[in-house]
A and B are shown apart, each in its own frame.
Chain A
Amino acid sequence: MSDLFAFNGAKGAGYAQPAPLSDDFTIPSALQRSAAARWPRASEPEIVRHYTWLSTRSHGIDSGFYPLGSCTMKHNPRVNERIVQMSGMNDLHALAPVSHLQGLMAIFHEMQEMLEHCAGMDKVTLQPVAGAHGEFTAMRCIQEYHRDIGQDNRDKVIVPDSAHGTNPASAAMCGYQIIEIPSLENGRLDLDALRAVVGEDTAAMMVTNPSTLGIFEPEIAEAAEIVHAAGGQMYYDGANFNAILGKTNPGLMGFDAVHYNLHKTFSQPHGGGGPGAGPIGVKSHLADYLPAPLVVASVDGEGEPWFDWYNPSKSIGKVQQWHGNSGATVRAWAFYRRYGRELEKMSEHAVLNANYLRHRIMNPSDDVRAGIHAMPIDGAPTDIVKHEFTLNMSPIKDATGVTGKDVAKRLLDYGYMAPTLYFPMIVPECLMLEPTETESKEAIDQFADDFLQILAEDPELVKTAPHDTPVKRVDEVWAARNLILRHPLDEE
């Protein structure tokens, strides 16, 4: 156990600092800090060892297969990191004159156009910094649009019960009331349920397609027609865009607004919780409301490309103080350039890997099947899935008492990150698996074999998992009851 706050031997910073230019400054007497922050006093080697040790107790895609459904944990190409650490990215000021930012703005402009094209939208802003932030931004644009056309009575947003929690949370932050509609038995959109709630108070419907069950909604265009006929807007949650790029797009499905997760589809590394990036695209009727500023291209006096900022005429203003997560935009640019016109292949391989993994898990050999206590049920009965799929682990629980969570924890012992657990809520004992396109057949075969082996293991071994991790199962209830949210330092 390395304790950061036990380091107390270093005099001054762990790196050599220059002296101040001048000590001829004043701090008003009432504002002078009386006691220093009790930060550690450590040398650089101590800090390097501390964080290196911490890294060995963390698990990234680099550590092993990471089938965390809905999160699209694909490999993060390292050239992208090299690019964003260049001074021409890392040391830019957001408020610098446009003449200082031409290269960045060229990348912004190309990304705006690429994302517009891929999603079938008319205008893109790169400002939102996370998927949920994009949802919030788009719902604000829709809200201002409705106010502008005299329809501010539209105060309800419809979401299916399979939606990501961020959808209702984002709409609620804009002041909308949420109407949740149940899904059909097979996990699909229930158009009758939609017809029953849609009306002149409908502001929008928020849909993920492929849905959180990993299945393509065959009646998505019909759903859009129903909502549009009532005067509502269709919002596309782009969390699962990795499944369909180049095959279809939200514009074709009838959506008016969409967010993209650059940290999923376009490989911005997620860094243990973020940064992400959640640009949004909209159809032309919503474009005037987008956050300011956007990048516009023209030519300078010598006929060379020139980029400028411009503010949409009825802009909602800012949702982040600067230009969003520019570094994520640049990484995503580098990622998309690797595929270019062949981005479709990315989706094909993601879908191939998901279907193959599902096939391997659901169709064990007779020998293997004979040893298994019980088989999971498909979360959604369908021939093919898109980039992810769900498993209902109830039969295992019924047969042995082993829960979905137990299986997830046991997978950690095998060196895998656990799948997404108990989401979507409409699938009992749900595990949601998404292998992504960057896993090899060998890696998927191995995972499937190991997964099936766990289903054959002694239930006690699985229920008490994990066994081979840096710590054993962590008591989350104790943490919530005791709320030790910082180091006690010398009060210990």
Chain B
Amino acid sequence: MLAAMGMTSMDDLFSDIPEHVRRDAPLDLPEPQSEEEILREARMLLDMNIPVDSRPSFLGAGLYSNYVPTMVPMLATRGEFLTAYTPYQPEVSQGMLQAMWEFQTMVSELVGLPVSNVSMYDASTSAAEALTCAVRIHDRKASQKSTIYVSELIPPHRMSVIHNYTQGAEIVVKTIPHDADGMLDLSVAAAAEGACAVYVEQPNALGLLDEGLCDLKSIVGENTALIVGVQPVSLGLVSPPGDYGADIVVGEGQPFGIGPTAGGPIYGLFACSQAYIRQMPGRIVGQSMDSEGERAFTLTLSTREQHIRRHKATSNICSNETLIALMGAMHMALLGPEGLETLARRNAGACAATKAALLDIDGVEAVHPNGTHFNEFAIRLPRPSADLLTFLDDEYDITGGLDLSQWWPGRENELLVCATDQIAAEDIEDLVEGVQDWLEGYE
């Protein structure tokens, strides 16, 4: 090949790199390995990890271990899906485009809003870009310019992402507190009227379902976007936010389609009402027709996007999480409406059974005794929860949950416990025994 071009060595191909910026030494990296050697070393390293499916795990906090049907990874890794780029050429990408249009439809049905995009990076970037989107829509009429209100009961890491994404547009972020029962303080929420957006979660970071959010849209008014973050599995039982006035719904799609996978790649959900379409971020698939009038699909509304609008784009997002959204679509399609309800019941049931069993123990208190929970609930212990977590890990091979002081200093004795459909009755018995054993150790 070199000879065909009149060259004699590979160096000729790099003669355009000036001497003063060239590397003067070879890369200092390990010897090349065979496939078998790589596989062996990967197995050795990954076997050092302790996965959540190897033991009872009550750790959720926004990332959930739900069962993913075997079919999903098998079909999604078909090479035509796995190794495709963004479907810029619709004529040879109808399969992926149709799958994403179907995904949009299922998400739309799930959350009760007419439009969904193809995916965001995760729930945190979905929430952050929902807020900047809402500011672009509402700022002109807002009496509180560039101001948004965010519930204080959202995971702090998500809040950090929101700060990074909103500071560039000089958006003022105010928080809305909660009452002793963990319900959003609606009297304070009324202050959000005239702001660009209010962001709340259902269930919130402590797993609480909040009926009061049904009144929030009428409290903040038409010109303030109501943005609701959801755990999508809960929507098998819980009202879709679109039904109580949400303008944008976001969330971690992950429980549909993929394991917790250390937090990535997963996918963020983003759905909205018609009014937000031209300011929303991300890829969108639309139905169209081909030159012979046959139904066909294509990416659409690309005039919002960075490759056309450059610095005036609604978002910089280009690569997203389509393949994981495809896995989510496959899981949703296989569940169907009744399967979804059963899955939600299994999660709600496991949570209720775990909560009842733990609260039966002397010394364990509910942080929100009047609350109704989905997946997660917080308990208060007589001693630091970090100590219990270490004890359960060392003595019972149980992952007990999240020490809430990791999120909010001052809550050292509180533990966030999560039970998904992967929790069995024996797991709850083991947990109870472990907690009792730990408490007895201090008597």
Contacts and interface: CB of A to CB of B under 8 A. Distances in A.
A409 B262 CA distance: 40
A377 interface: no
Contacts of B73: 85
Range class of the A interface residue count: 35 or more
A163 to B, nearest CB: 8
A313 interface: no
Contacts of A4: 102, 333
27 contacts: A10-B336, A20-B346, A25-B345, A25-B351, A27-B209, A54-B98, A58-B94, A60-B82, A75-B83, A92-B49, A92-B261, A99-B50, A101-B262, A169-B311, A172-B312, A172-B316, A245-B27, A269-B82, A320-B161, A330-B42, A337-B30, A340-B30, A356-B5, A474-B297, A475-B291, A480-B300, A486-B116
Interface stretch (A63-71, A367-375, A393-401, A452-460): A63-71
B286 A483 contact: yes
A489 B108 CA distance: 12
A245 B23 CA distance: 10
Given A271-B81, A473-B290, A476-B288, A89 B21 contact: no
Interface in B79-102: 79-96, 98-102
A365 interface: no
A336 B30 CA distance: 10
B29 A117 contact: yes
A337 B335 contact: no
A272 B86 contact: yes
B105 interface: yes
A91 B334 CA distance: 21
Given A44-B334, A382-B16, A66 B85 contact: yes
Contacts of B309: 165, 169
Nearest to B60: A93
A330 to B, nearest CB: 7
A48 B71 contact: yes
Contacts of A320: 121-122, 124-125, 161, 263-264
B440 interface: no
Interface in A62-105: 62-63, 66, 68, 71, 73, 75-77, 79, 81-97, 99-104
B81 A58 contact: yes
Nearest to A74: B83
B168 A60 contact: no
Interface residues of B, number: 200
A91 B259 contact: yes
Interface stretch (B6-14, B191-199, B360-368, B430-438): B6-14
A298 interface: no
A96 B13 CA distance: 48
Interface string B104-136: 111011100011101101111100000010000
Contacts of A164: 307
A85 B235 CA distance: 28
A449 to B, nearest CB: 14
Given A32-B238, A44-B71, A21 B83 contact: no
A36 B161 CA distance: 33
Interface stretch (B172-180, B217-225, B321-329): B321-329
Contacts of A409: 89, 91
A168 to B, nearest CB: 4
Nearest to A61: B83
Nearest to A84: B261
B260 interface: yes
Contact of A175 (B50, B168, B290, B300): B168
Contact of B342 (A12, A118, A486): A12
B61 interface: yes
